[in-house]
Amino acid sequence: MMRYKTVAAAMLLPTILLVGCGGETTEAQRATSNSANLTGLWRLNFETSQSGLNAEAGITYTLTDNGDEVSMVACAERQPATLSRTGNTLEGMPVGEATVTSNDSLHANGSLGDSEATKMSTKAVFDMGSLAVSGGDLGSIASSNICIQSDNANILGQATQERISATTLLNGKPLILEISRMGSIRKGTYDVNRDMAEGGVQIFMKSDALKSRINRSEMNLRNGSLTITEDSLVWMKGNFSAEMPNGQLVAGNFEFEKP
């Protein structure tokens, strides 16, 4: 299965707005306006279309504005990179040269497609929900220092694969938990298996910090179930229970803010 190289990491927390008659509630993704500089948590939406294949990716990262230089921290790697700024142009982003349209939005044109980035918060921190996993030799992992990324693809309008991933830090090293399915991931209950067979989902975990716990740096869970309890514009929430490769049972719950 193709795994994407994450570009950057941004944080986006939603607000709940009251609109319409009778106090009807509508969710809205978090966004900033009139920021003093580029510092903050960002989401970047990338879309490409070639020969009937359409793909979209939601990427998150933080920026710290130091004037002529801007420091970027990508979601998955959690390593800082320095971007060069000349006027309204940022150089060094993996999506290509980006144009600063305002301190709250960026735009980039690349050979594979276009991308738009919007700032979610003026704080350059990752706080896009929560993740907790525990059981067996894995022990207990719980964090709200997480960033979320996603991607999906379709051919002629038919969904082929969807993936959402969370990255946090475990003993100072990135820990990725990834949920994938052939087709769409929506509210409901799915079997957890290694190859997404018969409509099931794959739950993949990866981190060098896992070696001291389970003697491996990555694993696919199996023989279990995952339930998505909420799938809205802003949130994907759920829980799961499944086996590690050694047969030990682990359970987890999550609240992911969508990029």
Q: How does pLDDT run across 25-76, given as a tens digit for each residue?
A: 568 999 999 999 999 999 999 888 777 778 899 999 999 999 889 999 999 8
pLDDT band at 159 (very low <50, low <70, confident <90, very high): low
Who's near 91: CB < 8 A, 6+ residues apart? Answer: 83, 84, 85, 97
pLDDT tops 80 at residue 214: yes
* 250 and 145 part of one domain: yes
Burial (Cβ within 10 Å: 0-12, 13-18, ≥19) of residue 29? middle
What is the per-residue pLDDT across 3-23, written as a single tens digit (0 to 9) for each?
Answer: 333 333 333 223 223 333 444
Supply the mean pLDDT for the chain.
Answer: 88
Measured distance CA(225)–CA(53) in Å, rounded: 30
The predicted model gives 176-180 an average pLDDT of 98
Measured distance CA(180)–CA(1) in Å, rounded: 10
> At 244, phi and psi to the nearest 5?
-80, 170
Closest CA to 52 of 182, 160, 157: 157
pLDDT of residue 109: 82
pLDDT of residue 235: 98
pLDDT of residue 26: 67
Q: Which residues pair with 212 in a beta bridge?
A: none
* 94 and 203 part of one domain: no
Could you tell me if residue 4 is inside a domain?
no
Residue 213, classed as helix, strand or coil, is: helix
Sign, CA dihedral 249-252-258-259, equals negative
Angle at 247 between CA 242 and CA 250, to 5 degrees: 35
* 207 and 115 part of one domain: no
* 23 and 102 part of one domain: yes
Could you tell me if residue 3 is inside a domain?
no
The predicted model gives 226-242 an average pLDDT of 98
pLDDT of residue 155: 78
Boundaries of domain holding 233 = 129-257
What is the per-residue pLDDT across 91-145, written as a single tens digit (0 to 9) for each?
Answer: 988 788 899 999 999 999 876 678 999 999 999 999 999 999 999 999 999 999 9
pLDDT of residue 1: 38
Please state the pTM of the whole predicted model. Answer: 0.86
119, 98 contact by CB (below 8 A)? no
Encoded tokens for 11: 């944080």
Could you tell me if residue 5 is inside a domain?
no
pLDDT tops 70 at residue 239: yes
Measured distance CA(103)–CA(90) in Å, rounded: 12
* 106 and 138 part of one domain: no
Q: Number of folded domains in the chain?
A: 2
* 113 and 139 part of one domain: no
Closest CA to 119 of 35, 26, 58: 35
Measured distance CA(127)–CA(35) in Å, rounded: 19
Measured distance CA(162)–CA(184) in Å, rounded: 5
pLDDT of residue 25: 53
Could you tell me if residue 7 is inside a domain?
no
* 29 and 136 part of one domain: no
Residue 237, classed as helix, strand or coil, is: strand
Query: Which letter does DSSP use for residue 73 in this model?
Result: E
Cα separations in angstroms, 75 against 4, 47, 91, 155: 12, 19, 18, 28
User: Which element (helix H / strand E) includes 212?
Assistant: helix 211-214
pLDDT of residue 112: 67
* 20 and 105 part of one domain: yes
